[in-house]
Amino acid sequence: MPISGDHALSRRALLAGTAASGVLMTLAEARAQGITPKSGGTLTSLLTPEPAILVPGVNNQAPTLIASSKIFQGLLDYSMALEPRPVLAKSWSLSDDKLSYTFKLQEGVTFHDGKPFTADDVIFSIMKFHFDLAPRARSVFQKIKQATAPDPLTVVFTLDSPFEPFLLMFHATAAAIMPKHLYEGTDFRNNPNNQKPIGTGPFQFVEWQRGGFIRLKKYDGYWKKGQPYLDEIVYRIVPDSQSRALAMETGQVLMSGASDIEPFDVPRFQQKPNLEIETKGWECFAPLMWIELNHRVKPLGDVKVRKAISMAIDRDFILRRLWFGVGKVATSPIASTTLFYDPASKLAAHDVRAANILLDEAGYKADSSGVRFKLRHLTLPYGEIWARLAEYLRATFKQIGIELTLESTDTGGWASRVSAWDYDTTINFLYQFGDPTLGVERTYVSTNIQKVVFTNTGGYTNPEVDKAFAAGRNGATAAERKTAFATAQSLLIADMAQIWIQEMSFPTIHDKKARNLIQFGSGIHACYDDVFLA
């Protein structure tokens, strides 16, 4: 649901670490439905495309985060309204000066190798592992002036200045707690434990047959008594979209999420009485899709070219004909479900004629073949729908005299090429994590131009945008932050920094006997310790 730009984490939510745990709520909800959670069974799910690795931080692409969130945990999860909920932290508090966050940790937690989880693992994970690996995490955690452990089950983070969205950074997808005893002093990206990940989650890694499946089994030493309920989770890797749809239809798998089922297949699943389709569970992430332009490639550095491309795109067509209405047309670089979205944001209307006139005025005349210039487009390798989108873009670009050559690669190759700035255009979609400072700023500030995927790989620069995001990051009140982010949105749209297309909404399709799959704003990225088969 939309959240107003004036929303901030309430003090009650901030201090709600002693709220009822997810276990109690799950049992209450189940009993209300006349159902008692029971143990046993295997949840089979699709996972598309196959992840490169199962360690968050080392890799932050969507398939990695979905599967690894069952192996690793963060300190917190979040409700649909982005209120923090206890996971490895059982309670938390904020000092009166809004500088010190104290987390009290769960007792009796162990890693899958039997070693105890302590405050030292938290401090290592936050201050070293994710700080070193993830540019988004680094930009937030560099505000931590001091991290201390008064005792083995208490962590205190003291910031250099108040930072309103700090508590939104502690989900497993952003700051999974890693075993310090296995990673300290090693090359994190090439640590041998990456091949057999060890976390504190309800499921432990068992087997990975590349191109076939990933098998996770119940961790018998899990810290919640009697949980998880499932014996196993098996992620099936099925490259062909029609084979995935058939597996879902015939019951070979009980669940699909994210990009598993192509949007054009969703309508027929709505008619299946044994299946349920849910679109909640993306509130924490608010993924926004855009055409990413490499500003270093001529003439994409010309704002008139970028505006012409934006006007040539029929966003309504993409939503209706390619995504079958699943999602929402983008109007801003900030999604409408992210804090501080400005409803006054507006993109120029679809107008191919006006786009051609603008390119003429900019001096990009067509040759005898009707071609103004040529570009390479790196297709996003996340399924057939993205290939169809690439074909649509090729036809659309042709209408304004741009010849688009489509190039294909796998997920690892796509990430490598985008990281190396080896593309002209591509499609990207990033999680916004509830707040522009956490998930939007990284794409546009000049200080984050890096050869690392999910940074400002496009090379966009505007000092005024940098200032606006800095003001939003450091604003002492929600009102100050709202003003700053409204300015950032206005400037980005004026520059057409990227070509925003659609707010993504991925359906989770599952057999009705699979219960509790979507309970939090993290959706299918939750740890699933209370999922069961009825």
Tokens of 360: 């003429």
Q: How confident is the model at residue 167 (pLDDT cuts 50, 70, 90)?
A: very high
Mean pLDDT of 230-244: 96
Buried b (16+ CB within 10 A) or exposed e, 306-344: bbbbbbbbbbeebbeebbeebbbebbbbbbbbbbbbbee
Q: What is the rounded average pLDDT for all residues in the chain? A: 92
Residues 286/440, Cβ–Cβ less than 8 Å: no
Q: Tell me: pLDDT of 17 over 90.
A: no
Say whether pLDDT at 20 is over 90: no
What is the torsional sign of CA 308, 313, 314, 316? negative
CA angle 251, 252, 258 (to 5 degrees): 90
CA torsion angle 23 25 30 33 (round to 10): 180
Residue 2 has pLDDT above 60, yes or no: no
Which pLDDT band, with edges at 50, 70 and 90, does 15 fall under? very low
Stretch (H or E) spanning 212 = none
Contacts of 330 (CB under 8 A, 6+ apart): 288, 289, 290, 315, 347, 500, 501, 502, 503
Say yes or no: do domains 12-196+508-533 and 288-503 share a fold. Answer: no
Q: Give yes or no for a contact between 46 and 245, defined as CB atoms under 8 angstroms apart.
A: no
Q: What is the pTM of this model?
A: 0.84
pLDDT band with cut points at 50, 70 and 90 for residue 24: very low
Q: What is the pLDDT of residues 124-156, one digit of tens each?
A: 999 999 999 988 898 899 999 999 999 999 999
Amino acid identity, position 433: F
pLDDT band at 29 (very low <50, low <70, confident <90, very high): low
Percent of the chain at pLDDT above 70?
93
CATH among 3.30.70.100, 1.10.150.130, 2.40.50.100, 3.90.76.10 for 12-196+508-533: 3.90.76.10
Q: Which fold has domain 288-503?
A: Dipeptide-binding Protein; domain 3 (3.10.105)
Asked if residue 481 has pLDDT above 50, the reply is yes
Domain residue ranges of the chain, discontinuous segments joined by +: 12-196+508-533, 288-503
Amino acid (one-letter) located at 280: K
Q: Is pLDDT at 301 greater than 90 in this prediction?
A: yes
Residues 6+ apart with CB under 8 A from 182: 113, 191, 193, 198
